[in-house]
Every structure is written in C-alpha cells, then in structure tokens.
C-alpha cells in the first residue's frame, strides 16, 4: 500500500487532535496518503481510546477500542510528554520536518505551549496549521469549550429537531463533529494546494458552530428574509416535508406529498421504508406501483396541493400497502416504477445487506493488532488515478516513537536513551491500560 502513489504521499502531519472532530479530519488525510503522527501522553490519552469496546471484551486496554480504531486508522503513534522542556524540544524538531500541524484543543492550548502560529512559522515557514474548535480562535467566544451537542445547539441545528409543540430534541449523535472533520480536511487540502503554488504556509481556523450553519438549510434564509421561526405548533412535522407556514413543500415549486416513513412488514424498530413524491409524474408512478387502487384514482388527488391537504388519508392507505412488504421488497418494487423510495437501514443493514456499498467496498477488511480482522469505514470517493484504500496501521501507544525519533528526526541511540531516562518518552513495557498507575510518569 505504501508503495502506491496517493494524493498526499510525502505529506507529514503532526496530529495533536483528540475526540471525534479532529481525528476525523486527520483520518481522511491519512487515507489520502499523508503520514499522520498522533501525539499523546498515556496519563491523558485521547478519551475515545476507552469510549467503546467489543461486546464481552474483558481486556480493556487503550489500544483495543473499535471506535477509536476506526477514527484513527492509518496513523502512527508518538508518546511524548509535551509538558516537559525536553518533550517540547522534540516536538519543535518534528514540526521542522513536517508539513501540517493539526489540533482540536481549546483556543489557548498551543499558545500556552509556546507553539502559536507565530512560533510555528519561525520553526517552519511553510507549515500549515489547522485547528478545529467550537467557535474558532477569534471573537468573544474563542476560549469557550464545546462538545458536539453543545456546538449543534449554538449552530441552530438542535432547534430544528423535535415534536410539534415540544422542546427541541437535538440530534442523537455528534454529526457536527464528523462534518467539522470533513470540512477541516478540505481546509488543509486548500492550504496545501496554495502552498504548492506559492511556497507559503497557512493558518486554517475551523469553527464547528460555523460548519453547523451549513446544515441549518432554509431556516437561516428564512430568518434573514421573513422574520418567521422555523418552529411553530405544527413544525417539525415528523417525517413529512414541511415549510415554515405549515404547507408541505417540495422540489422546483411542487409540493412533496406523500413524503413520509412508513411501517413495512415486521415489527422491528427499523422495519420502515421512506417514500417522497416530489411532483405529479411521480404520483402517477406511485399509483401504478400500487396497482392503481380506487382511492388513489380520485381526481381530487391529481394535484400536489390537494394531496398535501389529504396527506393523512394518503399516509393511511400507503401505510396499509407497505405492511404487506419487507422494507427492501417495497423499496425495489417502488424504485422499479420510478418512485423515490429507500429502506430505513440500521448499521448492520448497511454492512451486511446493502449491495451498493458492498460493490463499492466502502467497508474495508483490515487486520488490527489487538482487535483481529474487522471491517472499517473506507473513503466515500473513487478515482482511477489514485489509490484511496486504507492502511492496516493504527496508533498503538508508543508503537512508532522509535521510528519518529530515529528515522524522521535522526536522533542517536544515546539521545533516545537519555529521553527515556528523563521520563520524556513512554517507558518501554508499560501496560496500555486505563487503570495504570499514573504516578509512574
């Protein structure tokens, strides 16, 4: 794999990021061929290392968490105490030999280390410094910490979710962490492209809250143009597509009705199929797929506006039809008639039952040193000119410390030994276990 040319082959990233947003960003840089060196110290490791383990796992170390492994596939590990002068001296040497410095701390952390962008430019004038934080590194909120759910609340996305007349429900997963990671990777690629043309480094300052604004959709435009709130007594309207004034809206000015998620055959929590009719032609296709039932042939339903007015009735009839089919049977039958439909898939469905994802090999089988052979999330794009497949490499704590010091920085064996004696490096043979005695460091 390492011999195959990839877009970022030859680019080295010093990765101080942790949790989800930053590691998502550097994960994609690694998938593009960058050498990503994750920097940690075992007394305060990335919390995602112990966030999740395989079912019935009894040996819970900092190296065998599947969630962490998926977030950090393709990376290397340097364990060094950056709170010591000797450790910071090593990091400065590494920055001189690198192309990107990535972090997802609060705004003041690298400044306190003496590694603000001004200092980074002195060490390496062409370095790209990217930070992912809740509010960015400027403005009145720059020093405030956020978590995915709190950033989502500040961005306005939480406000959009919930039952009519009820408090906002928020999103169950930290989607904004993942979206910020994607956008952070785009920012790095943009800065590297600019550096290739000009030779100059760059400062990339990513704000999670600002990324969230792109997910708010029409609510932001509505606030700017109409002074109306997205939410009222009838909105959000479950799985229906609704507009701020309660009318169903659709595509190119047509109303979207029926547009909902319908219970299919079976009583499992995910036995549903989504259908969304965006125009009159698709309504005709739906009628044909259903066998042109008498209820659907009434002229009153031939216009989008009238279907919107009768959507409760339509949902009842369509729901009754759907109960006779498995969700995949319903999806394929409707799609064959030109009806936009999709089965509601669980994680297991996507991994085991989705032929499209299987064909595109989005889940890659890799051998992990502690987890064995597992499926890991691949990259969602393909190009015949580059290889984007993942490497079977993970940042096992301290696994690449010797490589970084000796091969990348050219330190002698005596220099490395002195760093170990000074407890700047993680002692050899120490267990990578959350319960390890912290006083040993």
pLDDT of the chain along its 441 residues, tens only? 445 678 999 999 999 999 999 999 999 999 999 999 999 999 889 999 998 898 888 888 899 999 999 999 999 999 999 999 999 999 999 999 999 999 999 999 999 999 999 999 999 999 999 999 999 999 999 998 888 788 889 988 888 777 777 888 877 788 899 999 999 999 999 999 999 999 999 999 999 999 998 888 767 777 777 766 666 665 556 677 665 444 444 333 446 889 999 999 998 989 999 999 999 999 999 999 999 999 999 999 999 889 989 999 999 999 999 999 999 999 999 999 999 999 999 999 999 889 999 998 899 999 999 999 999 998 888 887 777 778 999 999 999 999 999 999 999 999 999 999 999 998 654 545 544 433 333
pLDDT at 438: 38
| 70 touches 28 (CB < 8 A) | no
Q: Name residue 363's beta-bridge partners.
A: 377
Nearest partner of 28 among 176, 178, 203, 173, judged by Cα: 178
Which sign does the torsion angle of CA 394, 364, 147, 346 carry? negative
Q: What is the pLDDT of residue 191?
A: 98
Beta strands 363-368 and 372-377: pairing type? antiparallel
Non-local (6+) Cβ contacts of 214 within 8 A are 179
Give dist(CA 182, CA 271) in Å, integer: 31
Contact between 6 and 387 under an 8 Å Cβ cutoff? The reply is: yes
Look at residue 439 in the predicted model and tell me its pLDDT. 36
Pairing of strands 259-263, 272-276: antiparallel
- Provide the whole-model pTM: 0.88
**DSSP characters for 19-79?**
TTHHHHHHHHHHHTT-EEEEEE-TTS--GGGGS---TT-----TT--HHHHHHTTTEEEEE
């Amino acid at each position: 794999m390492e011999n195959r040319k990839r877009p970022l082959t030859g680019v080295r990233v010093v990765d101080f990021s942790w949790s989800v947003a930053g590691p998502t960003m550097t994960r994609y840089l690694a998938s593009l061929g960058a050498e990503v060196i994750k920097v940690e110290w075992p007394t305060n490791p990335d919390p995602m290392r112990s966030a999740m383990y395989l079912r019935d796992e009894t040996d819970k170390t900092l190296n065998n968490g599947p969630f962490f492994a998926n977030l950090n596939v393709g990376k290397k590990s340097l364990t060094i105490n950056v709170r010591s002068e000797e450790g910071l001296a090593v990091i400065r040497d590494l920055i001189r030999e690198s192309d990107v410095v990535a972090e997802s701390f609060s705004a003041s952390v690298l400044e306190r280390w003496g590694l603000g962008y001004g200092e980074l430019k002195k060490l390496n004038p062409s370095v790209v410094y990217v930070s992912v934080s809740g509010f960015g590194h400027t403005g009145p909120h720059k020093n405030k910490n956020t978590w995915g759910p709190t950033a989502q609340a500040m961005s306005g996305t939480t406000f959009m979710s919930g039952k009519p007349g009820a408090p906002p429900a928020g999103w169950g997963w930290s989607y904004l962490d993942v979206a910020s990671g994607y956008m952070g990777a785009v920012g790095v690629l943009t800065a590297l492209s600019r550096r290739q043309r000009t030779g100059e480094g760059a400062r990339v300052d990513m704000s999670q809250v600002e990324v969230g604004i792109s997910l708010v959709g029409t609510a932001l435009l509505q606030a700017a143009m109409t002074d109306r709130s997205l939410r009222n007594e009838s909105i959000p309207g479950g799985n229906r597509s609704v507009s701020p004034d309660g009318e169903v809206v659709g595509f190119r000015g047509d109303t979207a009705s029926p547009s909902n998620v319908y219970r299919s055959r079976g009583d499992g929590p995910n036995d549903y199929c989504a259908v969304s009719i965006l125009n009159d032609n698709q309504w005709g296709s739906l009628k044909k797929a259903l066998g042109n039932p008498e209820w659907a042939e009434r002229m009153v339903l031939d216009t989008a506006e009238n279907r919107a007015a009768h959507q409760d009735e339509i949902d009842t009839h369509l729901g009754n039809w759907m109960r006779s089919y498995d969700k995949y049977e319903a999806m394929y039958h409707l799609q064959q008639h030109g009806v936009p439909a999709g089965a509601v898939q669980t994680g297991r469905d996507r991994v085991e039952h989705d032929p499209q994802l299987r064909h595109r090999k989005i889940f890659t089988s890799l051998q992990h040193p502690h987890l064995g052979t597992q499926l890991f999330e691949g990259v969602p794009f393909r190009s015949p000119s580059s290889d984007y497949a993942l490497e079977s490499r993970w940042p096992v704590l301290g696994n690449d410390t010797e490589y970084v010091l000796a091969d990348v920085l050219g330190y002698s064996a005596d220099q490395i030994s002195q760093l170990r004696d000074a407890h700047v490096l993680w002692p050899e043979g120490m267990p990578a276990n959350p319960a390890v005695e912290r006083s040993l460091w």
